[in-house]
A and B are shown apart, each in its own frame.
Chain A
Amino acid sequence: MSLFKEVKSLIRKDIVLEWRSKYAINGIVLYVVSTVFVCYQAFKSVDPTTWNALFWIILLFASVNAINKSFVQESRSRQFYYYTIASAKAIILSKIVYNMLMMLLLSSIAYLVYSIIFSTPLGDPILYLIAVSLGGIGFAAVFTMVSAISAKAGNNSTLMAILSFPIIIPLLLVLIKVSKNAMDGLERSISYDELTVLAAINILTVAISLLLFPYLWRD
């Protein structure tokens, strides 16, 4: 089987598994909505800088929780079965793509709920949405590899947090900058540099994950 075909069927398998139980996605959507409500009740009204920072913090914790599970939800023996029929590259690639799709959905829901409940004037909603989507994809790319590492180390959630937060900070800083530009409704050409950096970080992390994962899965 070619790599592309393997990846495609593995992603389909993940989606079907998720669709049957709907546990992870419902849980995480509920998590986002309740966090937004807690923040809304606590802050009532906030200035734009805090609004922006708060949104990214909510999304950061939601994505850590969502992606943390990606390597432990299936039993060990079933994982062995996957490794016998598919290459390690196909497995990590399918997990990354699946997590990216899930994060796209999750971050759009978060953005929608957050901007309805916590309404604040946005200068350039389209650019903000682009930043949110790129951010979701970037979180998925980085956290998938880190969750694979922490799953090998007994998967405690403290380890996931301390391993992933320093790594995610460059991405988060660029994201906060772009989304602040979008909030203030600045000219789009100002944000092109940051958007390129975001795309570059995403490509780099996926490439490193592909190179390193074949060493990781063997026990």
Chain B
Amino acid sequence: MKKYWWKILGIILLIYSIIMGLLGHVPALPIVHETIRNVYFHVPMWFTMFTLYIVSVVYSIKYLSSANPQHDFVAVESVNVGIIFCIFGLLSGMLWANFTWGAPWPNDPKLNGSAIATLMYLAYLVLRNALEEEQKRARISAIYNIFAFPIMIALMYILPKTTDSLHPGAGGNSGFGQFDLDGSMKAVLYPASLGWILIGIWLMTLRFRIRKLEYQNHTATL
């Protein structure tokens, strides 16, 4: 119980956010109407992705100072799971954009920035496949990961703010905070984000453990 309480918490928060997200009270808004509920599912994806990428860059830095292969496994599995959340974030965003902006992919800096940042992390995985030797692969991909991280922040969070954008919270637009007068949306959004972050970390640790076992098997047979 001591060890896995946070996994149970993640499941409970997720169930709460799905039920309250679909049934709870939301402000009546023009254009977005009831699709405002997507905020409970779209936004947590990005929070989770960002958390996982931070975990990844922290473990890449740790790998460079320790040369412990397990740190490298955490770094790569965080990116693997982060990319899945990024894809779901893009898909839920496209669904929403199709309804509110009229097209799934308008030429918008926030969308393009996210897509390019995803390409960068896919390139990280390709770089890993290009390197045969394990220690060299871990070290060089850690370096690329650290190098790419500030660029990812610039692409997704800084550049869209400086130009015109349709996306809330970018290009001088306000976020949804101003519509949430009684705090009823925050009461769902924040637990939902925490729940998805916990589930994302859970997925990462599962994949990490599989990779660790494979590594142990591999070194044992040698």
Using a CB–CB distance below 8 Å, which chain A residues touch chain B?
145-146, 149, 152-154, 156, 159, 162-163, 165-167, 169-170, 173-174, 193, 197, 201, 204, 208-209, 212, 215-216, 219
Q: B140: CB under 8 A from chain A?
A: yes
What separation, in Å, do the CA atoms of A156 and B126 have in the docked complex?
12
Are B123 and A208 within 8 A (Cβ)?
no
Near A by CB (< 8 A), chain B positions 141-180 give 142-144, 146-148, 150-151, 154-155, 159, 162
What's the least CB distance linking B124 to chain A, in Å? 8
Using a CB–CB distance below 8 Å, which chain B residues touch chain A?
64, 116-117, 119-120, 123, 126-127, 130-131, 136, 139-140, 142-144, 146-148, 150-151, 154-155, 159, 162
In the complex, chain B residues whose CB is within 8 Å of the CB of A165: 119
Known: A166-B151, A169-B116, A174-B159. 20 other contacts (CB 8 A): A153-B127, A153-B131, A154-B130, A162-B123, A162-B126, A163-B144, A165-B119, A166-B116, A166-B117, A166-B119, A166-B120, A166-B123, A167-B148, A169-B155, A170-B151, A170-B159, A204-B150, A209-B147, A216-B139, A216-B140
Partner of A208, one of B130, B150, B154: B150
What separation, in Å, do the CA atoms of A156 and B131 have in the docked complex?
11
What's the least CB distance linking A151 to chain B, in Å? 10
What separation, in Å, do the CA atoms of A197 and B117 have in the docked complex?
19
Minimum-distance CB pairs A-B, first 4? A166-B120, A166-B119, A162-B123, A153-B130
Report if A149-B159 is in contact (Cβ < 8 Å); known contacts: A159-B126, A208-B150: no
What's the least CB distance linking B154 to chain A, in Å? 5
Are A149 and B127 within 8 A (Cβ)?
yes
Report if A149-B136 is in contact (Cβ < 8 Å); known contacts: A154-B130, A166-B116, A170-B151: no
Are B64 and A215 within 8 A (Cβ)?
yes
Are A149 and B140 within 8 A (Cβ)?
yes
Are B130 and A156 within 8 A (Cβ)?
yes
Q: Which of A146, A159, A170 has the most CB of B within 10 A?
A: A170
What separation, in Å, do the CA atoms of A21 and B147 have in the docked complex?
33
What separation, in Å, do the CA atoms of A159 and B150 have in the docked complex?
20
Are B116 and A212 within 8 A (Cβ)?
no
In the complex, chain B residues whose CB is within 8 Å of the CB of A149: 127, 140, 143-144, 147
What separation, in Å, do the CA atoms of A159 and B140 have in the docked complex?
13
Closest to B121 in A: A166
What's the least CB distance linking A178 to chain B, in Å? 12
Are A167 and B130 within 8 A (Cβ)?
no
Closest to A168 in B: B151
Are B143 and A215 within 8 A (Cβ)?
yes
Are B146 and A208 within 8 A (Cβ)?
yes
What separation, in Å, do the CA atoms of A153 and B138 have in the docked complex?
12
Are A170 and B147 within 8 A (Cβ)?
no
